[in-house]
């Protein structure tokens, strides 16, 4: 009982450190400045300033030493503590060595002022976080100081593929950086805990692990941030706590395995989290067509004009988006050179492409492999063969392929097996056989294969 009392009393005294620490700063800096005052009339004031500064430095260092017992460890704490002790020692020495002034007094004053500045900066890091000094500085100043300017609080999700959003790095780590890492970082580890990187979070602190994958209520991290704010164990004890959306995301992340590489899956994300992401982050996870998810630069007006001059008709598929539907202008023809130019100027923007009834051969169609976001392709009536279909199998997003009225035969199915995203296939009036078509359709049930209408013989209809 007595040991606990003494420990608590030591922490009670230690918490006077923030109050006392300002006294040596003021008196010692006053003494340093007055050392440069001409004449000896201010010498008594200098001696008093050194003496009061030394006494208050000793008191502040002693209280700081006691306070460090509840502040964990870390580089910032180490340097702040020993720099503070060094200031106290030099202040005591300065009280005697500066009695008569002179160069020694000025030199000691210069060293003490430097140590006070560094110790004060480390104290600021401990109290307000490592970025406190440059947090609101102009971007140029932050860059010169080696601090990356913080990004805008509002994320532009329109340039991000929703299937590649990392839950931890996109939502949880920023929340930790704002609310928790001020006390749990490389320089300061309250409770022996660091939260500035996921590996440290999983390592836990003095109380053991804080994350138990699959068990939010069994994870002390989740329990501490959901305690009532008046509970002494509620985290963070001061500053901005995690908001409702952040707490719910943390719960979901832990419940689903606490994988720092986990991505948001619109199909499995709970509806309440979708609503929170839309409300608080402007992130819409509602199902979208592929053309709405294309990320590419918009085609310039100059390029659109150049393509229009060679008989291409270009229509945006999404207002303000980069995805385009491209086809020949009515009554105009497109040659191999025009197709090659389209592939050169708009390789990522073309999503729907129609080449109906154009006399294009396999060699002419080679540029089709360059359209990385091609989603629908009509090759009706062209001279395409299985060779070109083989090239198309490398397009990752091709969902619809129309080969109506071409000369393709059963050889085409060997290539169609390799299409990663194919959903609709049109084979009217081609040379494919019913047997090969049925075998392909059976092996690929997710692909809708349309070979046109098949009418029963007249004799069979009458017999019925």
So what's the pLDDT on residue 154? 54
User: Residue 257 CA to chain centroid, in angstroms?
Assistant: 20
Task: Domain ranges for the chain, please list them.
Answer: 1-144, 162-281, 301-450
Indicate the CATH number of 301-450 among 3.30.420.10, 3.20.20.70, 3.80.10.10, 3.10.129.10.
Answer: 3.80.10.10
**pTM score:** 0.51
pLDDT tens track, the chain, 464 positions: 444 444 466 667 666 666 677 777 777 777 777 777 776 777 788 778 778 877 877 877 777 777 666 555 566 667 677 777 877 787 787 777 777 767 777 777 777 777 777 776 666 666 655 665 656 566 666 666 555 555 444 566 766 777 778 999 999 998 888 888 878 887 778 788 888 888 888 988 888 899 999 999 999 999 999 998 888 788 888 778 899 999 999 999 999 999 999 988 888 899 999 999 989 988 888 777 888 888 899 999 999 999 999 999 999 998 888 999 999 999 998 999 999 999 999 999 999 999 999 999 999 999 999 999 999 999 999 999 999 999 999 999 999 999 999 999 999 999 999 999 999 999 999 999 999 999 999 999 999 999 985 444 444 444 44
Residues belonging to the chain: 464
């Amino acid at each position: 009982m007595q040991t606990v009392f003494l420990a608590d009393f030591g922490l009670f005294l230690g918490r006077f450190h923030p109050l006392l620490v300002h006294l040596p700063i003021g008196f010692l800096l006053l003494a340093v400045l007055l050392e440069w005052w001409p004449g000896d009339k201010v010498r008594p004031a200098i001696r008093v300033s050194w003496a009061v500064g030394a006494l208050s430095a000793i008191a502040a260092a002693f209280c700081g030493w006691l306070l460090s017992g509840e502040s964990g460890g870390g580089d910032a704490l180490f340097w702040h503590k020993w720099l503070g002790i060094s200031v106290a020692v030099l202040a005591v020495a300065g009280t005697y060595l500066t009695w008569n002034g002179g160069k020694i007094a000025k030199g000691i004053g210069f060293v003490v002022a430097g140590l006070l500045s560094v110790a004060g900066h480390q104290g600021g890091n401990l109290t307000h976080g490592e970025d406190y000094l440059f947090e609101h500085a102009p971007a140029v100043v932050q860059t010169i100081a080696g601090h990356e300017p913080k990004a805008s609080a509002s994320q532009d999700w329109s340039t991000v593929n929703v299937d590649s959003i990392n839950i931890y790095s996109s939502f949880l780590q920023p929340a930790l950086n704002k609310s928790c890492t001020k006390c749990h970082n490389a320089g300061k580890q309250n409770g022996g805990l660091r939260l500035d990187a996921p590996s440290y979070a999983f390592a836990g602190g003095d109380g053991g692990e804080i994350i138990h994958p699959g068990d939010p209520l069994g994870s002390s991290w989740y329990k501490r941030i959901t305690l009532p704010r008046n509970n002494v164990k509620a985290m963070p004890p001061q500053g901005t706590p995690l908001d409702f959306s952040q707490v719910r995301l943390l719960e979901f992340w832990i419940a689903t395995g606490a994988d720092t590489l986990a991505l948001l899956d619109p199909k499995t994300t709970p509806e309440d989290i979708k609503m929170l992401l839309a409300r608080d982050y402007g992130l819409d996870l509602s199902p979208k067509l592929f053309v709405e998810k294309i990320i590419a630069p918009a085609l310039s007006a100059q390029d659109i004009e150049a393509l229009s001059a060679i008989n291409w008709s270009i229509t945006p598929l999404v207002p303000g988006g980069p995805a385009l539907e491209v086809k020949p202008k009515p009554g105009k023809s497109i040659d191999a050179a025009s197709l090659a130019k389209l592939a050169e100027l708009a390789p990522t923007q073309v999503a729907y492409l129609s080449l109906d009834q154009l006399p294009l051969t396999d060699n002419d169609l080679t540029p089709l492999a360059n359209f990385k976001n091609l989603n629908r392709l009509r090759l009706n009536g062209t001279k395409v063969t299985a060779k070109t279909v083989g090239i198309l199998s490398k397009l990752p997003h091709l969902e619809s392929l129309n080969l109506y009225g071409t000369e393709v035969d059963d050889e085409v199915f060997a290539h169609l097996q390799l299409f990663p995203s194919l959903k609709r296939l049109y084979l009217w009036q081609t040379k494919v056989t019913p047997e090969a078509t049925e075998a392909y359709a059976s092996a690929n049930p997710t692909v809708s294969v349309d070979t046109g209408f098949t009418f029963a013989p007249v004799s069979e209809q009458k017999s019925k």
